[in-house]
């Protein structure tokens, strides 16, 4: 396959993954998409009781490498529908409330997509001193255009329905991509492309893929998916594939920037959930340099990933993180550089195919 065609396929898949609604605890459509992408190249593929998708590509050894990405995105759950059809909501995952007012929203309560807007009291009828204060989520509501609670219920919007902010996918100038849910559909994409890349290659070790659920509410899916894989195989190394914070924007000093767009795949040193295995990160750096794959070191910062629970599952496993830098993560839209996404695909593929120490 020509390089441009390879890149185009990755970009198109990013769009498809981004457009799917799959908030924490409701990842089924994301899982279905991934299943269709990889079902013909896996030796084993199944969905476990927690909704995790687990795939196995056998190698010459029963020793294995675990690759993980999470399928969920941050979103909302409806907590109340009033008599006029306005919907109160709570967060599923970590939103910055400053980004939410006036944002478009999507839900799919009975299979069809419906659209709404996040609202609050308009500034024209609030006190002057209130207009400069952040509006807490508790004072916001979603307006789907309903005129009654009865109409909302008939359309499937009830307490417990889920939704998320929606900005649409666009290709921007200079190879930038914009869309929702890049955290962590970027990682899902990297794992899919890695599986495709290694499908017809000699593999010295078994490669185990886990597309795990509910990372945004506490890395819950990875706790069981990693355990399941470690019960079946001797996992000697693990990688979580993620979207991570990119700065490089006005007001952020260089020393405060975890990563930058356009500088390649980001290799983690540490975060709030894990100190990355020296063995894994040195292997990643060595491979990136030998294969001339663009990479950068992610400056230690907050947050966490599925690797935080994977590395202490059962007897433990040396673990690391490869990420795609993105601006404005955990907001209604993220921007990434397509070449960082491609670099992550190339690096994880090379990580799997290079001889294991």
Mean pLDDT of the chain: 95
Q: Provide φ and ψ at 68, rounded to 5°.
A: -130, 145
Domain membership flag for residue 12:
yes
pLDDT digits (tens, 9 = 90+) for 166-200: 999 999 999 999 999 999 999 999 999 999 999 99
Domain membership flag for residue 205:
yes
- The H or E element that residue 170 is part of is strand 170-171
Q: What local confidence, expressed as pLDDT, does residue 207 receive?
A: 98
Task: Give the residue-averaged pLDDT of 323-334.
Answer: 95
125 falls in which pLDDT band (50, 70, 90)? low
Domain membership flag for residue 171:
no
The percentage of residues in the chain with a pLDDT greater than 90, rounded to a whole number, is 88
Q: Of 165, 189, 216, which residue is a domain's last?
A: 165
**Structural domain boundaries, residue 339:** 3-73+180-353
Same domain assignment for residues 60 and 145 = no
C-alpha dihedral, 163 to 165 to 169 to 173, nearest 10°: -170
* Residue of 27, 73, 155, 215 marked active site: 215
215 among known catalytic residues:
yes
Question: What number of other Cβ atoms are within 10 A of residue 36's Cβ?
Answer: 9
Domain membership flag for residue 246:
yes
Same domain assignment for residues 146 and 41 = no
Domain membership flag for residue 91:
yes
DSSP class per residue in 189-205: HHHHHHHHHHTTS--SE
Measure the CA–CA gap between 192 and 194, rounded to whole angstroms. Answer: 5
Measure the CA–CA gap between 256 and 74, rounded to whole angstroms. Answer: 25
Q: What is the CATH number of the domain that holds 86?
A: 2.40.30.40
pLDDT digits (tens, 9 = 90+) for 4-63: 999 999 999 999 999 999 999 999 999 999 999 999 999 999 999 999 999 999 999 889
pTM comes to 0.95
128 pLDDT higher than 70: no
pLDDT digits (tens, 9 = 90+) for 203-214: 999 999 999 999
- Domains identified in the chain, total number: 2
122 pLDDT higher than 90: no
CA 30 to chain centre: 11
pLDDT digits (tens, 9 = 90+) for 61-120: 889 999 999 999 999 999 999 999 999 999 999 998 889 999 999 999 998 999 999 998
Q: What local confidence, expressed as pLDDT, does residue 131 receive?
A: 66
Same domain assignment for residues 184 and 324 = yes
Measure the CA–CA gap between 13 and 29, rounded to whole angstroms. Answer: 14
CA 293 to chain centre: 22
pLDDT digits (tens, 9 = 90+) for 301-319: 888 999 999 999 999 999 9
Same domain assignment for residues 16 and 145 = no
In the block, tokens 């492309």 appear at 193
| Spatial CA neighbour of 121 closest among 149, 140, 137, 103 | 140
Domain membership flag for residue 172:
no
135 falls in which pLDDT band (50, 70, 90)? confident
Same domain assignment for residues 10 and 121 = no
Measure the CA–CA gap between 151 and 128, rounded to whole angstroms. Answer: 35
**Angstrom distances, CA of residue 342 to CA of 84, 114, 248, 304, 348:** 47, 33, 20, 23, 10
Q: What local confidence, expressed as pLDDT, does residue 289 receive?
A: 98
Q: What is the CATH number of the domain that holds 209?
A: 3.40.630.10
- Which residues lie across from 55 on neighbouring strands? 45, 209
């Amino acid at each position: 396959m020509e390089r441009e065609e390879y890149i185009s396929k990755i970009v198109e898949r990013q769009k498809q993954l981004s457009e799917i609604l799959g908030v924490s605890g409701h990842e089924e459509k994301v899982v279905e998409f991934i299943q269709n992408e990889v079902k013909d190249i896996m030796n084993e593929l199944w969905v476990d009781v927690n909704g995790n998708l687990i795939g196995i590509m056998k190698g010459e050894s029963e020793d294995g490498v675990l690759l993980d990405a999470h399928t969920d995105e941050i979103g909302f759950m409806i907590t109340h529908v009033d008599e006029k059809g306005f919907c109160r909501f709570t967060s599923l995952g970590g939103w910055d409330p400053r980004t939410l007012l006036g944002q478009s929203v999507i839900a799919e309560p009975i299979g069809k997509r419906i659209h709404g807007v996040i609202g609050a009291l308009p500034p024209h009828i609030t006190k002057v001193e209130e207009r400069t204060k952040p509006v807490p989520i508790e004072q916001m509501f979603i307006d789907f255009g309903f005129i009654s609670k009865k109409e909302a219920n008939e359309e499937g919007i009830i307490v417990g329905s889920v939704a998320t902010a929606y900005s649409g996918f666009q290709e921007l100038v200079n190879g930038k991509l914009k869309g929702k849910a890049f955290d962590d559909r970027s990682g899902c994409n990297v794992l899919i492309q890695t599986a495709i890349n290694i499908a017809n290659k000699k593999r010295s070790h078994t490669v185990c893929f886990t597309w795990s659920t509910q990372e945004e509410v506490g890395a819950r899916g990875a706790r069981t998916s990693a355990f399941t894989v470690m019960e079946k195989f001797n996992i000697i190394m693990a990688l979580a594939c993620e979207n991570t914070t990119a700065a490089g924007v006005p007001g952020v000093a260089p020393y405060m920037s975890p990563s930058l767009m356009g500088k390649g795949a980001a290799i983690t040193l540490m975060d709030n959930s894990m100190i990355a295995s020296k063995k894994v990160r040195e292997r990643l750096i060595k491979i990136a340099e030998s294969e001339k794959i663009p990479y950068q070191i992610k400056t230690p910062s907050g947050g966490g990933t599925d690797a935080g629970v994977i590395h202490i599952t059962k007897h433990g496993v040396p673990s690391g993180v490869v990420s795609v830098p993105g601006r404005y993560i955990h907001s209604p839209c993220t921007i990434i550089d397509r070449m960082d996404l491609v670099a992550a695909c190339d690096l994880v593929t090379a990580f799997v195919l290079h001889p294991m120490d």
